[in-house]
Structures are given as C-alpha cells and as structure tokens.
Amino acid sequence: MSLQEAITEFRGQFRGTVIEPQDAAYDEARKVYNGMIDRRPRLIAMCTDVADVIAAVRMAKANGLRVSIRGGGHNAAGLGVCDDGLVIDLAPIKYVRVDPASRTVLVGGGCKWADVDHATHAFGLAVPSGIISSTGVAGLTLGGGMGHLTRKYGLTIDNLLSVDMVLADGSFVVASAEENADLFWAVRGGGGNFGVVTSFLFEAHPVSTVCAGPMLWNLDDTADVMKWYREFITKAPEEMNGFFAMMTVPPGPPFPTELHLRKMCAIVWCYQGSMEQANTILEPIRSYRPPAFEFFVPMPYPMLQGMFDGIYPTGLQWYWKADFFKELSDAAIEKHIEHGSLLPTWQSAMHLYPVNGKVNRVYEDDTAFSHRDSVWSEVIVGVDPDPANGQKITEWAKRYYDALHPFGTGGAYLNFMMEEGEDRIRATYRGNYARLAAVKEKYHPENFFRVNQNIRPSA
Ligand SMILES: Cc1cc2nc3c(=O)[nH]c(=O)nc-3n(C[C@H](O)[C@H](O)[C@H](O)COP(=O)(O)OP(=O)(O)OC[C@H]3O[C@@H](n4cnc5c(N)ncnc54)[C@H](O)[C@@H]3O)c2cc1C
C-alpha cells in the first residue's frame, strides 16, 4: 500500500481532522508558538480522543513515519512539530474536571494552563504551573513545571498523581505510583520520550486570591537588589515566591509612561496570604532599596497567570538559553549586570526562577527531574516580532549564556532548552539518565518517540 493509500485508509478510522500539505488549513496548523520554527510535516492529525491517538500512532508505525507530539505548541525548540512526519496534535482533547472533594483535577492532553486555571479557580483551587497561561499543560508538566507556586507546592510533577498514555505499539496504559510505576517515574521530568499522554490527574491546592505583581528598580540598583534577593529567597516563607528579571518596561499600563521601554531589574512576587503579612515580609527591601515602581496588589490567581500573556503573543521570534545554579556569586551578578543591561529588544529578558523550598525536599531520584539540589533555574530569552532581528537576539542570548554558564551545574531545565545535543541532556539528567534509558529500552526499544529532548534506549 502506498503512503497516500494508507493516509486515505487512516482518514476513515480517524474522527478528528487530518491535514495534508495541499489543504488550506496546513500552513496555520503547522505553526508553533516560536515564529523561528518553520517545519513541514507530511501529515497533521488533530486528535479528538484516545482512539484517535491510538489510530495515529499505529498509522505512523506501520508506515515508518517520524512522530512529533504537540500539546500547547509552546516548546522553545519547536519539538511539537517535525519535518516530513506525522504531528499528533492533541489540541482538541480539551476538558478539565475538578473534583473539589478529593481536590483532584483531570486534564485533557490538549489543554493550556488558562483552561485549568479557569476551571479550578471556581473551586478556590489551583495546580502549580508556570507564569504564562497560554503554555500547554502537557509539555510543561512532562519537563517538570516551575512557576509562581513552586516554593510552596513544588514542581508541577510533584503534584501529578497519574497519567493516561498511548505507547508506541498503540497500547493504552495508566501510569501512577501503583500502576506502571517505572513509566510514572520517567514521565515526571522525562519529557515526551515515553508515549503520548492523553490525560493528567493532578492534586490541586487551596489558592484563590494572591498578593502579587512586579517591583521594578533602576539598573544602578541591580547589584544591591540581587544580593539582597539571593539571601532572601532561600529563607523567606514558602508562601512567598519571587522570580528575578532583567527586563525592559513594557510600553503600556500599569507602568508609568516615563518608565516605558526603560531597561530595569525586577522581582515578580506571588504571596499566598494577606497584604498585611506580605507587606511585613517585603518591608526590608522597600526600606533598603525602594522600588522605582511597583504594582503589588491582591488579585485572583488566574489574573496573575495571564498577566504576561499580552506581552508574548504567539508567533514571535524566540531564542532560548538556560542553566541551573546552586549559588549566585558576586562574580555572576557582575555578568548579569553586564549582559542584562544590553537587552537587544524590549521583549527580551533574563529570568531567574527559585527552585528551592518544596522542590528541594524531593530526592533527586524520586522523579526523573534530577536537579533537586539547585536553587535557581535561569532562562535567557531573545524575543522580537521581526525575523530580521533573529541574529541579533540569538547572539545576545548566546553571549549572556556563555558568560554565566561557567557558574552553573552544567545542566538546564529541559523545557527552557533548544536542541543542544546528547551531552547536554545527560548533564541535565545526571544520575537519572541511565535509569531513563532503561525505561526507554523496556517500552520503546526502537526510540519511536524521538522528536524531543531525546533519551536513547540503553541497548
Ligand atoms: C512564553 C513561555 C513561557 C513559559 N513559561 C514557563 C514557566 O513559567 N514554567 C515552565 O516550567 N515552563 C515554561 N515555559 C516552557 C514550557 O514548559 C515548554 O515550552 C513546554 O514544552 C511547553 O509545553 P507545550 O505542551 O506547550 O509544548 P509542545 O511544543 O506542544 O510540546 C513540547 C514537547 O513536549 C512533548 N509533549 C507535548 N505534549 C505531549 C503529550 N501529550 N504527550 C507526550 N509528550 C508531549 C513533546 O515531546 C514535545 O516535543 C514557557 C514557554 C514559553 C514559550
């Protein structure tokens, strides 16, 4: 049977939409969030349910097609889409069921975090995720997941109870602490290596209104604020989260016009408690180095989650570099000031996310995510709408990364990496790599799922 005949037969078994290069929807459907990525798959299968995923996996296997799995399409390296192969797109599998009695949330594999936040907020609950609500639940979770609630409740995977998955032979499995425990260990940090996850069951927490928002300082204050921050954030109550940023002030409200497009440093806070308590905790920095501007107010948690969505619409050019750090030395701070003050475009930024608190109380071999002893996860993003600025943002990000990399652990958060080769993936998983490769060997000896930060089967 020719590939075209196989596709015709596949269309008959498939409930969702099948998109080929000649279809009008093709160019829109192959786009991912990063506008720098331009790949041309042979086929895009918009799956409506688990049966569609099984049919798509079997079709790809029978016809020797490479497969990429797309959740929210946000991956920096564009790993949700591939050239010449089959894209298993889960976007139509979109449902969220909150069980307030057990405080659990069942999430379809195509959801974005905005879908989850909307559903859980009605019950005064939240699942720890990231800082941008348009990010896909699937990719963020499978890589680890860090954001505003990390210090108190851990990574997103620390709140994952079970997944439904389709394996390379088209079989369906549940993975949890009780069933297929080796797979459950591997998917908590192992990315898209182990199968297509069609649903996630999470534990949720009582988070409703938070006191949150950015404080901004002039660049001249960066060294003092960073040195204060490095002490503060490792000892602060875990209800207080704050990530550090080298950034440019967005040209719009709530920022005063005189600050628009000024390069500054910032901390974006999220406190789970009262304004009175938050103000007591933050009094030392306000009196030591008063912010040039702050917008720190009580707000519904979904509002915080969506706060930066408008700055980063889909289709911008993105170049990412990342590392984990155990300490933020004076020498590293000097490098941050040097490169952070050269932000090439206003949407470019450097963020330092704290990965301490609850994250550090999980052992490094309890899940595939090994960097439990790190304190910061750094990401440097060169961002701009204009493809003509691609080289400029890429070179800046690489120079910044080169300056800071010697201070890091050698590994980086999987979800902040471009395609950087096997050594970097090994440096990221450290002692967990061999166990991941063994799980891959057991379930996928042919490395069927390989459009990802790839873990090769051990044999
Ligand atoms: C603007 C922006 C902000 C971000 N902020 C944060 C943040 O605050 N915290 C954080 O932790 N991360 C953050 N990220 C990184 C984010 O976690 C990754 O980009 C992640 O890969 C996105 O997931 P996705 O489902 O949207 O990606 P996709 O591009 O759809 O998929 C990425 C990879 O995940 C795998 N995958 C996707 N869906 C499935 C599935 N259902 N089953 C199996 N494998 C699958 C595939 O291997 C795929 O290659 C951010 C990214 C962006 C672009």
Give the CA angle between residues 261, 263, 266 to the nearest 5°. Answer: 110
> pLDDT exceeding 70 applies to what percent of the chain?
100
Q: Is the pLDDT of residue 258 over 90?
A: yes
Residues 288-316: what's their mean pLDDT? 97
> Confidence band (pLDDT; 50, 70, 90) for 342?
very high
Tell me the per-residue pLDDT of 412-426, one tens digit each, with 9 for 90 and over: 999 999 999 999 999
Whether the full predicted model's pTM is greater than 0.95, yes or no, is yes
Give residue 458 CA to ligand 1 midpoint distance, Å.
25
pLDDT of residue 217: 98
Task: Record the tokens describing residue 292, joined without a space.
Answer: 């040039």
Residue identifier of the C-alpha nearest atom 45 of ligand 1: 192
Q: Is the pLDDT of residue 1 over 90?
A: no
Residue identifier of the C-alpha nearest atom 13 of ligand 1: 130
Tell me the per-residue pLDDT of 378-399, one tens digit each, with 9 for 90 and over: 999 999 999 999 999 999 999 9
Give residue 382 CA to ligand 1 midpoint distance, Å.
18
Q: Is the pLDDT of residue 453 over 90?
A: yes
> Confidence band (pLDDT; 50, 70, 90) for 430?
very high
| CA gap 116, 98 in Å, rounded | 9
Give residue 289 CA to ligand 1 midpoint distance, Å.
36
Q: Is the pLDDT of residue 459 over 90?
A: no
pLDDT of residue 278: 98
> Confidence band (pLDDT; 50, 70, 90) for 47?
very high
Q: Is the pLDDT of residue 452 over 90?
A: yes
Cα 284 from chain centre: 32
pLDDT of residue 389: 97
Return the ligand 1 atom nearest residue 145 CA: 11
Tell me the per-residue pLDDT of 188-200, one tens digit each, with 9 for 90 and over: 999 999 999 999 9
Give residue 8 CA to ligand 1 midpoint distance, Å.
31
The pick from 30, 32, 39, 75 for probing ligand 1's pocket by mutation, whose C-beta has the most ligand atoms within 8 angstroms, reads 75
pLDDT of residue 370: 96
Residues 227-239: what's their mean pLDDT? 97
202, with CB counted inside 10 A (0-12, 13-18, 19+), is buried
HEC string for 182-230 = HHHHHHCCCHHHCCEEEEEEEECECCCEEEEEEEEEEHHHHHHHHHHHH
**In which element (H, E) is residue 377 found?**
strand 376-384
| CA gap 427, 322 in Å, rounded | 13
The pick from 52, 415, 428, 451 for probing ligand 1's pocket by mutation, whose C-beta has the most ligand atoms within 8 angstroms, reads 415
| CA gap 369, 295 in Å, rounded | 34
Residue identifier of the C-alpha nearest atom 35 of ligand 1: 192
Tell me the per-residue pLDDT of 160-209, one tens digit each, with 9 for 90 and over: 999 999 999 999 999 999 999 999 999 999 999 999 999 999 999 999 99
> Confidence band (pLDDT; 50, 70, 90) for 136?
very high
Give residue 86 CA to ligand 1 midpoint distance, Å.
18
Give residue 380 CA to ligand 1 midpoint distance, Å.
16
Pocket of ligand 1 (CB under 6 A): 32-33, 68-76, 79-80, 90, 109, 130-132, 135-136, 138-140, 142-143, 145-147, 191-192, 196-197, 312, 415, 451-452
Return the ligand 1 atom nearest residue 72 CA: 26
| CA gap 320, 383 in Å, rounded | 9
> pLDDT exceeding 90 applies to what percent of the chain?
99
Residue listed under structure tokens 């649903």: 199
Q: Give, to the nearest 10 degrees, the angle between helix 275-288 and helix 222-235.
A: 140
Task: Record the tokens describing residue 117, joined without a space.
Answer: 């936040």
Return the ligand 1 atom nearest residue 165 CA: 42
User: CA nearest 371: which of 379, 383, 363, 382?
Assistant: 363
Tell me the per-residue pLDDT of 92-131, one tens digit each, with 9 for 90 and over: 999 999 999 999 999 999 999 999 999 999 999 999 999 9
Give residue 177 CA to ligand 1 midpoint distance, Å.
23
Tell me the per-residue pLDDT of 21-37, one tens digit each, with 9 for 90 and over: 999 999 999 999 999 99
Return the ligand 1 atom nearest residue 416 CA: 15
Return the ligand 1 atom nearest residue 34 CA: 53
Residues 264-278: what's their mean pLDDT? 98
